[in-house]
Amino acid sequence: MPRRIQLPFTQEIIIALRLSSLLFFFSCSIVLRSGHGDYPSRAQIFVYAGCSQEKYQPNSPFEENLNTFLSSVVSSSSEVTYNSFAIGNGTSAPPEATVYGLYQCRGDLHPTDCSKCVGRSVNQIGLVCPYTTGATLQLEGCYLRYEHSGDFLGKLDTSVRYKKCSKSVDNDVEFFRRRDDVLADLQTANGFRVSSSGLVEGFAQCLGDLTVSDCSSCLVDAVGKLKSMCGSAAAADVFLGQCYARYWGSGYYDETLGSHNDDQVGRSVAIIVGVFTGLAVLVVLLSICKKAMG
């Protein structure tokens, strides 16, 4: 019969505490890793949506083409970050059944995250705009639009779709100088551009169906609207029909968007601390009981 090795009482306690500590730090490392690199999840945050007033009938040719369009978008987004479609055009179906549409991901989004973002848009757009013949959905990382007319494809549209202005920054000459440098750089973008100057950062993007000239015109308009509509804001977003521009003071979005995740991580760590501290105490108590009985 194998002989049981009897450890000294203090050594049992030390081993128990070390085991508890290892488990605690291992679990904390998992939780803390989950709190970083969360941009892909932010990419799916809702920004704005627009729905047409005209509706289509369930089980109609338009709905069939719309489902084909949405399936095509999902498939395409795993390969390219922008694409446009005309579903039903040139077929025997009536012209009003044709679906024109496009999607686009933010220029710095990883293809895998682009596909996830577009998939989220496809799942949401029918909930946001049920049975409409036209709909637009903008998430942080991607854009989706469809219409029953293709007139919007490649056509410059600088109407304001959404704007957001933060609180103002007063009497900060350096901030505004840096902001103006960033905005001047962004309005020369061809497609997607990220820019920074000092503590000010920003990015801008045009839809992929615009020409270089129209993209430039759209971004110049977007930058002008940022200044005129948001004035001395510390951060501002302006989305036009076919382009957008955004800027912020360094750390602004980390503070506003990351606070919820930080709270979740903090709560998780607190729970782990409690669990493993309790475990360590329990092991010590059991060791004491065993020693007293032995």
Please report where in the chains the tokens 């679906």 appear, as a residue.
Answer: 99
Which structure tokens are listed for 59? Answer: 């089980």
Question: Can you tell me the distance from the alpha carbon of 143 to that of 62, in angstroms, rounded to the nearest whole number?
Answer: 21
Cα 279 to the center of its chain, rounded Å: 39
* pTM for the structure as a whole: 0.74
For residues 129 and 46, is the Cβ–Cβ distance under 8 A?
A: no
Using the predicted structure, report yes or no on whether residue 34 has a pLDDT greater than 50: no
Per-residue pLDDT band at 15 (split at 50, 70, 90): very low
For 82, left (φ over 0), alpha (ψ -120 to 50), or beta? beta
Neighbours of 125 (CB within 10 A): 23
- The closest alpha carbon to 114, from 186, 190, 192, 185, belongs to 192
pLDDT single digits (tens) 191-238: 999 999 999 999 999 999 999 999 999 999 999 999 999 999 999 999
Question: Can you tell me the distance from the alpha carbon of 166 to that of 185, in angstroms, rounded to the nearest whole number?
Answer: 21
Mean pLDDT rounded to a whole number for the chain: 81
Using the predicted structure, report yes or no on whether residue 177 has a pLDDT greater than 70: yes
Neighbours of 239 (CB within 10 A): 22
Residue 239 is inside which H or E element, if any?
strand 235-240
Per-residue pLDDT band at 96 (split at 50, 70, 90): confident
> Which pLDDT score is estimated for 71?
98
3-class state of residue 52 by DSSP: coil
Residue that wins the pLDDT comparison between 34 and 191: 191
Torsion of CA 183, 184, 187, 191, to 10 degrees: -80
Please report where in the chains the tokens 């920003």 appear, as a residue.
Answer: 202
> Which pLDDT score is estimated for 151?
83
> Which pLDDT score is estimated for 58?
96
pLDDT single digits (tens) 245-264: 999 997 655 544 443 344 44
pLDDT single digits (tens) 45-88: 999 999 999 999 999 999 999 999 999 999 999 999 999 999 99
Q: What amino acid occupies position 23? A: L
> Which pLDDT score is estimated for 257?
43
> Which pLDDT score is estimated for 95?
78
Residue that wins the pLDDT comparison between 12 and 246: 246
